[in-house]
Amino acid sequence: MNDVILKIENVSKQYKLGTIGTGNISDDLKRWWYSLRGKEDPFLKVGDVNDRTKIGDSKYVWALKDINFELKRGEVMAIIGSNGAGKSTLLKILSKVTGPTTGSIKSKGRIASLLEVGTGFHPELTGRENIFLNGAILGMTKKEIASKLDEIIDFSGCEKYIDTPTKRYSSGMTVRLAFAVAAFLEPDILIIDEVLAVGDKEFQKKAIGKMQDISYGDGRTVLFVSHNMNAVESLCENGIVLENGNIVFRGTAKESVDFYLKNNNIETAKHLSFDDLGNDFVKINSISVNKSKEQINISDDLNIEVDFTILKETNKRIDISTAFYSEKEQLIFNVGTGFSNKSPISNVIDISQKLNLVIERPNLNVGVYSIKLRVVENRSGHAKFKVNDIISFEVKNDLKSDVFIQTNGVIQPVIQVNVK
Amino acid sequence: MSNNSHIKDDWLFEITPKNKLLDLNLKEVWSYRDLLFLFVKRDVVTAYKQTILGPLWYLIQPLFTSIIFTLIFNNVANISTGTVPPFLFNLAGITIWNYFKSCFTSTSDTFNKNAGIFGKVYFPRIIMPMSVVISNLLRFGIQLLIFSAFYIYFYSLGAEISLTKYVFMFPVMVLLMGLLGLGLGMIISSLVTKYRDIKILVGFGLQLLMYLSAVMYPISFFVEKMPKYAWVVEYNPLTFIIESVRGMLLNVSDFDWSKFVYATFVTLVILFFGIIIFNKSEKNFIDTV
């Protein structure tokens, strides 16, 4: 089991901030002068931590700093982190697109990377020609591609258009074809960056299924970067969390996802007031979830209060809906006044109204949830005003009996078990 | 962990910050030969898609340039091309010069033009400029055909032209021209990633270089008119290649072996430096391009 296939040792990457201009020549000369005398690059000693929200003193920044980890043969590892944490930089270094500033990477296998689907696709070439070109760019030989050609075309579902230039393809079809080529790569180590967020539902399912085949069925070593936490959990065994260029957590995929979500979450609240949230149609004054209670438990009803003011006269009915999302951006349910035949919201303007919405025992599992608020006119799909993540709240566990065993899902239903 | 030293020997490859000075992994390049040919195919197939005249453009450009050169340099400026029809003289020079020019200009733009691909996938970067040199060979071949057609035409009219025995060196000359374009192009391409000024320089630099490469005049003419500066043209390896090609095809001058050795040497030196510089910048160019 101790068969290490990829070893990353003290890898760091430094970037220069700002534009590259005349200042660069002087730095280049200084570097050259130091190296001539056999000294270390003077600019490697400086550099700020990679945090895009703070202004640093230095012209140089460390996008990655002293990254160490190992991949075992057959291991499927996820790298997660917020934007700018250094995930893509790490993948770029691993796929030899750019070199590390310091440190080294040792590999026992061929690495193929999928940082983008359809790299090198030429719009004037036909689908078939592009399969060959793209396959060769990804490191396959012509023979390998030819032997898998039928499977690739079949998987892409583009048989009919395979001899048409890809510029006539819809963007979805191009992506399907490109993913199909990539899916049949057979390297020892596969590096994948966020390519699952493509295509329609059916194809995404197919793609995730294929990825599962690759990682479990074929025992391939895979390094996977994604913001799709569901995909990470379902595809990977282990994970590391990157933050500001450093590894801040290692563990199983589930632990890593939990760590990441906990550390990167929006603050939870039970009541929020707003000074100027709204547009010329409506103004939202405040929102609250179970304001009077100390904490929200699994078994509680949810009591949503929205304080708002209509600003524009209209004779159409006005409805407000609240959509509940899990941490992993899954929609759990969407409820609102639109369900009743007559909207309880009155059309008077410039007077604040209070909407009270009670959701009886939704049985939300332990976790953090966010609400998307929409104000619609005439029950239409088009919102006059909407806010994503208007408020986030945390559900805690109050069911401490032995009977209760917490499950992984979003809903924690009340169950009765009988054996006869 | 006890057999750490044993494991170390098994690594297939290692990625480190520093490159060796000459790190051309020919075995790796060879394993990507299919990609090389697919790139060549792509360039050839897509070059003139959705144009009406298609590959005819390959012919129009050298023909018109030759006509203009003949009018300006031979008819107006009275440069003598000896017994050779001036049009054919110019066409020969332009055909071989064009091969160098297209190799040079397209390779010098390698990193910028392909930043999209290079930023996403690794393959030996040198595949790109190599494919350019090869696909331009095809274009050169077509232009050579039109030259042959005019050659036969003028020959049938009774012009005093004939092939010399040195014509067997013609492929070598073409190879030298391609390698020279490749070498210079790779040097420039690496500089362009950081300093875009170079790209502007290339545009008119090439134009100046053409005047110093005896494309539209025989070297003897230059020596006669400006003996003091003739060395600039004479030491230019391009001059030698163009002169020899004209010499062997039109029988206007002899093949100079000592100059051949000199030109080959210069070409190889330039190519060598080109590969070194290219290798040095291919690793991190994506950060600066």
Q: How many CA atoms lie within 13 A of A115 on its CB side?
A: 22
Q: What are phi and psi of A63, to 5 degrees?
A: -75, -30
- Per DSSP, the residues of B159-220 read -S----GGGGGHHHHHHHHHHHHHHHHHHHHHHHHH-THHHHHHHHHHHHHHHTTTSSS-HH
List the Cα angle A231/A237/A242 in 5-degree steps.
75
Banded pLDDT at B251 (limits 50, 70, 90): confident
How many Å lie between the alpha carbon of B282 and the closest alpha carbon of chain A? 8
Across the interface, which of A94, A109, A120 has its CB nearest the CB of B12? A109
pLDDT tens for the 420 residues of chain A, in order? 468 888 888 888 888 776 555 556 677 777 777 766 766 666 666 666 666 555 555 677 888 888 898 888 888 899 988 877 888 888 888 888 888 888 888 888 888 877 777 778 888 888 999 999 988 888 888 898 999 999 999 988 888 888 888 888 887 788 888 888 888 888 888 888 866 556 667 777 777 777 777 777 777 888 888 877 777 887 888 899 988 888 888 998 888 888 887 776 566 778 888 888 888 889 999 999 988 888 888 888 899 999 999 998 888 889 999 999 988 788 999 998 888 888 888 888 888 999 999 999 888 888 888 899 999 988 877 888 988 888 888 887 766 554 445 567 788 887 788 888
3-state secondary structure of B53: coil
Across the interface, which of B14, B42, B118 has its CB nearest the CB of A104? B14
* Per-residue pLDDT tens over the stretch B94-140: 999 999 999 999 898 888 888 888 888 888 888 999 999 999 998 89
Tokens of A13: 């990457």
pLDDT value at position B6? 45
Note whether A370 and A399 are within 8 A (CB). no
* Per-residue pLDDT tens over the stretch B12-51: 777 777 666 666 677 888 888 899 999 998 888 887 776 7
With CA atoms as reference, the chain A residue closest to B13 would be: A107
pLDDT value at position A306? 92
pLDDT value at position B4? 43
Please indicate if any CB of chain B lies within 8 Å of the CB of A103.
yes
Q: What is the CA radius of gyration of chain A?
A: 27
The better pLDDT of the pair A361, B4 is held by A361
**Best mean pLDDT range from A310-314, B269-273, B279-283:** B269-273
Q: What is the DSSP letter of A156?
A: H
Quickly tell me which residue has 């003139």 as its tokens. B48
Q: What is the DSSP letter of A40?
A: P
| Cα separations in angstroms, A25 against A38, A65, A212, A247, B194 | 20, 26, 49, 34, 10
Across the interface, which of B16, B34, B119 has its CB nearest the CB of A142? B34
pLDDT value at position B176? 93
With CA atoms as reference, the chain A residue closest to B120 would be: A115
Asked whether the predicted pLDDT for residue B199 surpasses 90, the reply is no
Please indicate if any CB of chain B lies within 8 Å of the CB of A297.
no
Do the Cβ atoms of A104 and B121 come within 8 Å? no
Burial of B29 (0-12, 13-18, 19+ CB in 10 A): middle
What is the rounded distance in angstroms from the CA atom of residue B97 to the CA atom of residue B213? 9
pLDDT value at position B184? 93
Q: Chain A residues with CB inside 8 Å of B284's CB? A: 98-99
Do the Cβ atoms of A139 and B45 come within 8 Å? no
Q: Chain B residues with CB inside 8 Å of A97's CB? A: 118-122, 286
Q: Chain B residues with CB inside 8 Å of A94's CB? A: 15
* Per-residue pLDDT tens over the stretch B208-246: 999 888 888 888 888 888 888 888 888 889 999 998 998
What is the rounded distance in angstroms from the CA atom of residue A301 to the CA atom of residue A115? 45
Sign of CA dihedral A125, A128, A129, A135: positive
Q: Chain B residues with CB inside 8 Å of A109's CB? A: 12
In sequence order, what are the residues at sequence separation of 6 or more whose Cβ sits closer than 8 angstroms to the Cβ of residue A275? Answer: none
Please indicate if any CB of chain B lies within 8 Å of the CB of A66.
no
**pTM score:** 0.72
Across the interface, which of B8, B10, B15 has its CB nearest the CB of A100? B15
